[in-house]
Structure 1
Amino acid sequence: MSNVRQLRDRTPDSEKITINLGYVDLGRIDLLVQEGFYSNRTDFIRTAIRNQLGSHTDAVSKSIERHTMELGLRDYTRADLESLQKAGEVLHVKVVGLARIASDVTPELALATIGSITVLGALQASAEVKAALADRIQ
């Protein structure tokens, strides 16, 4: 008998991206890291991105309002979608951040209840649900 227990899978709270930088810019970042202004390259890049996003806060807020998008994390459970199906309603997902469709949602239920998906950030759903909704994901 094992003393190991299975814990819930932890959903990552970030998305990995790749960028290409010129050697001069990269060298300047490395110099700032070496001088102790930043702990590493990633710290510099995250700080730069946050500063840029902060300088555009009003524009982002107005755009979210204009597009009636939800900001942050939005979970869609099987119960949510079954309620929509029972009411004969179709969902149009519009999220800035992370949209998650529960792992127990079937492709059939997703097709019956989700009319379109627009996510600026990341969409987490089973491969089967993503494949079923491929033509509805923008």
Structure 2
Amino acid sequence: MADAHRLREKGGDTEKITINLGYVDLGHIDLLVQEGFYSNRTDFIRTAIRNQLASHSDAIKQAIVRNTLELGLRRFSREELETVRAAGRKLRIRVVGLAVIADDVTAELARETIESINVLGALQASPSVKAALATRIE
């Protein structure tokens, strides 16, 4: 993965999602839990998702390289953005995972230094920074 940057992955950080399942599928899951194959519904669902991701891992890796995405946790500090501003540059943020813009980054600094944001996963930033970048979030 020449153009992709593998960043630190944190296993303890999760994002809550909601899914709708048919009663029969849910019953099948409950049966597998009851039979001891899985500890609970969540364990089954996480395992199923991981298995699907593993089966498509080559396609995922190729897409990351093709799109020059950063993988994992990427934190943008005030100091980093001030350096970008001093160099007269703008960032195109592309992350698969979690992108965090530090709490001490002002809306003005974010507007001056971030050209676009594409996050497949989650973006954490102050409400004022998110509002300032609303038109730049893809």
CA-atom RMSD, angstroms?
Answer: 0.7
* Equivalent position of 2:7 in the other structure: none
* Equivalent position of 1:20 in the other structure: 20
1:36-95: CA deviation from partner (whole Å, max 9, x where unpaired): 100000000000000000001100000000000001000000000000000000000000
Greater RCO structure (CA 8 Å; 6+ sep): 2
* Equivalent position of 1:68 in the other structure: 68
d(CA) in 2 for partners of 1:17 and 1:130? 21
Q: How do 1:13-92 and structure 2 match up within 5 A?
A: 13-92=13-92
User: What's the TM-score once normalised by structure 1's chain length?
Assistant: 0.91
User: What's the TM-score once normalised by structure 2's chain length?
Assistant: 0.91
d(CA) in 1 for partners of 2:100 and 2:14? 13
d(CA) in 2 for partners of 1:36 and 1:65? 40
Divergent runs of 4+, >4 A: none
Secondary structure in 2 aligned to 1:129?
helix
- Shift, 1:108, TM fit: 0.2
Q: Unpaired segments of 5 or more residues in structure 2?
A: 1-11
d(CA) in 1 for partners of 2:86 and 2:132? 20
- Shift, 1:33, TM fit: 0.4
d(CA) in 2 for partners of 1:127 and 1:42? 31
- Shift, 1:17, TM fit: 0.2
Secondary structure in 1 aligned to 2:98?
strand
Aligned sequence identity (%): 71
Larger radius of gyration between Structure 1 and Structure 2: 1
Corresponding pairs, count? 127
